[in-house]
Structure 1
C-alpha cells in the first residue's frame, strides 16, 4: 500500500526510478489509470513490481498466488514474467477494482494466465488446501486486509513448495510499526505481530527490505 518507496527524498526517489525501473508501457498505463483512483495509494510501487517480476523469473515460477488484487498492477507485473504455461490464482473481494485489472490484463495478453477468484481469500486458500494443493505453489504475494495477515501467511506457507517464496507487503506500515503512539491500532498490531512471528519462524529464510511500504521476502526451507 505505497505507490513509491517510503523514506526517500523526492530527488533520490526520482533518481532510483530513472536509473533502475524498466517499466513496460502497459504497466505505466495501468499505474496512470490507478493514480486517478481515490484509493491510489493501495497500488504497489513500480520498483516493487519490477523486483517481484525478477524474483518470479529467478525461481522459475509457474504457479503463483496473490491475495489482494486491487487494480491488478502486481498481478500484471508477475504475469508478464511467467512462462506461457504459468498461472496465477488471484484473490480479491471487489468486482469494481478488479474490473480495471481485467481490462489491462486483456490488453497485455496475459488474461489466460490469471484465475481471478472474487471471494474472501481464506475461503479460496482453504479450498486449495482441501483439494490437495499443498506444497505446489512457487510464489505467493500477500497484500490484503491486515487483520488477516497471519492467517494468510499460515495458508501460504502450507501451499508454497520447498524453495518457494512468500512476499508480504506493507510490513513497515508507513513507519507505524515503530511508533509507540500506534500501539492501540489493530492493523498496526497485526502487522507487528506477524513480523515477529516470521522473524522467529525457522521454517523460512527471510529478508525485510525497505522497498515500497516494506516488503518481507520469505523462502520456505
Structure 2
C-alpha cells in the first residue's frame, strides 16, 4: 500500500512550479497512522523534508543499512545525504531532545552539517513545560479526576505559552543577553500560569547556553518562510 502511494506521489508533477513536486503527509486520526514510515519512504528522493507542527511526543523508528534510529523530533529526511531538513515555525522544540537524537547520527557517522535548520519562530520547549505537564497530571490523579494521559514532554503547556504570548522562540537565542531577560520573564509567567514551584532554572540555562553555541556554529536558525 505504501509503495503505491509513494509511486503516485512522484507521478503527478505540481502545476504551480516548473518541474517542482510537493507532497504533504497528514494524519487523519489521532496519531499512529504510519506518517513517519511514509515520510521515510518519500524523503530519500526529495530535496527538503519539513516538519510543520508537533514536538517530541511523536515517535518513529527507522532502519537504514541495518542501523536502527529512534526519532521523536527530527524529520526522517535527516538520514539521506541530499535532503535538507526543517523544523518549521509551528513545531515546539525541546533542544535537549533534539541533540540527544543527533547523537545517534554522530555515533554512526551520519553527516547533517548544513542539512538541519530550525525556524527562528519555532517555540522553545522548556523543562518548565515538562514539569507543568507532570504537575497537572498529578493534581488530576490526586483529585480523582481523569488524567489526560500526556507523554509528559511539555507539548500542551508549550503551545499554551505560545497562545498566551509569553513563550520563548528559537530565534530569541541569537542574542544571549536579551534571551536571559526574556527567559526570566518566561519563568515568572510560567510559574504563575502553571503553578510550578520546583524548577532548576540555573541548570536549564547552563544547558541552553551550551546547546546555543552548537546551534549558532552550525547555522541552524533560519527564517523558514523565506527558506
TM-score normalised by the chain length of structure 1: 0.31
Answer with 1 or 2: which has the greater Rg: 2
Higher fraction of helix: 1
The structure whose residues are more often strand, as a share, is 1
Q: Give the TM-score taking structure 2 as reference length.
A: 0.31
Relative contact order higher in (CA < 8 Å, ≥ 6 apart): 1
